[in-house]
Every structure is written in C-alpha cells, then in structure tokens.
Amino acid sequence: SEKFTKYCSLIGAHFIMAPLSFLWNYGNLSAYMDSYFQLYCAPDCVDFDSQWIINTYLACACPGVFLSWFMLKKVGLKTAGVIIMFMANLALIASAWTLQVSIVGTVMLMGVINGMGMGPTVCIGFMYINGWAGKNSGLLIGTATSAPTILSIAQNQIITAYVNPKNLKADTLIGVRAYFSQHEILTRPLEILRTGDFYALWLFGVALGFGLILKNNYYKQFGLLYINNDMFLTLVGSLIPVFASTARIVFGACIDRNILSIQDCLAISLAANSILCAFWFFAPQVDNILYMFLILFMACAHAVVHTIVGTGVAKLFGPDHYYINYGLVYSGSFVSAILSAFVVTPLLQAVGWFWLFASCSFLS
C-alpha cells in the first residue's frame, strides 16, 4: 500500500544517512592512523599530508551530487542510490590496503571516492523525505541527519575498544603532535582486515544473507503461483525451523570433531545455496513434495550461517576481541539486508522470478 511504501521510504532514508557517521568517527580514527603512518610504515607510505583525507571527504560531496545526476536520470533514484552506496563502501573496505602503502591512495579512497558517495547519498535521502513527509520534512530531515551522529557514539567506543583496549598512552612526540608507538596498537587496526579468512566469512554472510531474505520473503508467495494448497505451504514453513535447527547442531558437532573444517562448511553451504536457487523457479512446477524439500534444504544451507560465523571467528581469529571481530564479520549480513531492500522489488519487476532466484545462485 502507499502508506506502507511511505513509512518504508522514510525509515530507509534514515538508514542511508549512516555513512555520515564517518565525519564524527574520523577524529578518533585519525589518531591511530597517523600513528601508523608516522611510526610503522614511514617513510615509504608517507607521501602526502593525511589531513587531506577528511578535507577531500567534505569537499567531494558537492561534485559527487552533480556527477551522479547523470546516473540518476539513466537508472532511477533507487538503483542509483544502491550503486553509489556500494561504491562508497567498497572504497572504505579497499582503504584497508592503501593504509599500508600510501597516504595518497588512502586520500583517494577514504576521502575522494567516499566523499563523492556521501554527497549524493544524503541528497537522495533528502529527496525521499521531502517527497513523502510533506509538512514534516524539516523534522524528519533533522532526525535523519542526527541518526549518524548518534551512531558515531557507539562506533567511536567500538573503535577504541578494539584498537586500544588497555587505554595505553600516546607516548611519542614528533613536533607538536603525540602518537602511539605501541606495536599492539599500530598493527591492530589492520589485523583482521588483512586476512583472507575475514573477507571469506564476510562475503559468505552477504551471499547467504541474500538467499535467506529471498526464502523467508517468497517461499510461500512464489509457491502459491503453482501450488494451490495454502495448508501445505504452511506446513513447509512450519518445518523450516526444525530442519534449520538440526542443520546448525549437525554442522556445529562436525566442526567440533574436526569432521568438517570451517572452509568445508563454507563450500558446502554456498554450493547448496547456489544449486538450490538455480532450480527454485522450476521445482513447484514439477511437484509439491520436490518444492517442499528444496525449501527445507535451502533452510539448512542458510541456517548454518550463525554456526559457521560464530565458530569460525573464534577458531580463525582467536578469543581475543571476539566481540568486535564477530561484529565486523557479521556486518556482511547487515549490508546484504539493507541493499536487498532496495534491489529485490525493482529486480523482480524488471526481470521476473527466474532471474531473481538466478541472481542469488550466481552470488553464491
């Protein structure tokens, strides 16, 4: 309904403002980054002044609005917003590598590209609010732009809790600035982000998260197109938690007894999701029971996300800083959930059920 669309759009407008919290995080983060530049990777990586990171972030917001206008006219507001958000977040992730080699590279990714993504993202959020909120647009723009400020309170605490949990002092003076020289601080910002295991688990969460959203939303809606038995599809839904719980227990036990490794579990669940999604469109057209087992096996593949991530973080990265490491890895599911909210309905309307399910298969 129009009312539902209105509220979803206004809530979404608050979520897409979240990257603005970088503006209030950077002052905290820069103290650790500058210490890394000056005392760990210098002189090779010190090829520019790091203050340009935040300067270019703010300066590039306006050019980003004008440059993205051409994209917006071509692909529409929703798709343009998704592309821009993906670009900005990808730049932030990639800056984990540029931090190790070049301030110039970090300025380009964390400053220029991230800033060019921030400007149009905020503008798109304002357009949605002004379009739906009417006389309350001023109030809602205020709450939307306040959300990242409030979010930064928690983010700053998380950053320091991870990088400097012992509250060590900045013990080195260079000129008029104080820096951290402790090895455990200088290496920790990049510790987890430098491992292939982190990105494997993170992308696993994105891929399976997308499949989980499609299954939970559409197993019955799609099934009703070909199966004229509502009670049967309700039975399928009732059996999903039974199969899901069983899969979690079995996979967890196999990991504990070294029957399966974390990598084995990743491969099995991704392969299962890919194959099952590839046949999802055809299963209810062939047989009701076939469709039931396809959905139930898919539920098993999706259910092990918590087991694999929860166990994998401890086994691959150790017990230290488990809380923060788990949050970083599980952020993949957050990204998948938010992006799919913008992508799934336009994709379904544009290409139909087959290609929607196929996209999940390809992603896995």
181/299 same-domain check: no
* pLDDT surpassing 90 at residue 225: no
Per DSSP bridges, beta strands 172-174 and 177-179 are: antiparallel
| pLDDT band (50, 70, 90) for residue 335 | confident
Q: Which residue has the higher pLDDT, 193 or 210?
A: 210
144/94 same-domain check: yes
Q: Percent helix, strand and coil across the chain, each rounded to 5?
A: 85, 0, 15
Mean pLDDT within 200-215:
81
103/207 same-domain check: no
67/200 same-domain check: no
The pLDDT tens digits of the residues spanning 159-175 come to: 788 788 888 888 888 88
The DSSP bridge partners found for residue 173 are 178
52/105 same-domain check: yes
Answer whether 89's CB lies under 8 Å from 73's CB.
no
Task: Please report the pLDDT score of residue 121 as a whole number.
Answer: 84
| pLDDT band (50, 70, 90) for residue 307 | confident
Averaged confidence pLDDT in the chain: 82
| pLDDT band (50, 70, 90) for residue 282 | very high
Task: Please report the pLDDT score of residue 186 as a whole number.
Answer: 75
Task: Please report the pLDDT score of residue 68 as a whole number.
Answer: 79
**Domain end among 140, 166, 191:** 191
Mean pLDDT within 33-54:
83
> Is residue 177 classed as helix, strand or coil in its secondary structure?
strand
Phi-psi region of 233 (alpha: psi -120 to 50; beta: other; left: phi over 0): alpha
* pLDDT surpassing 60 at residue 246: yes
* pLDDT surpassing 70 at residue 179: yes
Q: Record the tokens describing residue 51, joined without a space.
A: 């203050």
pTM, two decimals, is 0.60
Task: Please report the pLDDT score of residue 193 as a whole number.
Answer: 58
* pLDDT surpassing 60 at residue 29: yes
293/239 same-domain check: yes
126/160 same-domain check: yes
> Is residue 174 classed as helix, strand or coil in its secondary structure?
strand
* pLDDT surpassing 60 at residue 281: yes
**How many structural domains comprise the chain?**
2
229/354 same-domain check: yes
Task: Please report the pLDDT score of residue 133 as a whole number.
Answer: 82
| pLDDT band (50, 70, 90) for residue 191 | low
Percent over 70 (pLDDT), the chain? 94
Q: What is the CA radius of gyration of the chain?
A: 23
**Domain end among 143, 163, 191:** 191
Nearest to 218 by CA among 127, 142, 283: 283
90/149 same-domain check: yes
| pLDDT band (50, 70, 90) for residue 196 | low
The pLDDT tens digits of the residues spanning 74-93 come to: 888 778 888 888 888 888 87
CA distances from 288 to 220, 235, 284, 297, 356 (A): 12, 12, 6, 14, 21
219/306 same-domain check: yes
Domain hosting 136: range is 2-191
The enclosing domain of 258 has a CATH number of: 1.20.1250.20
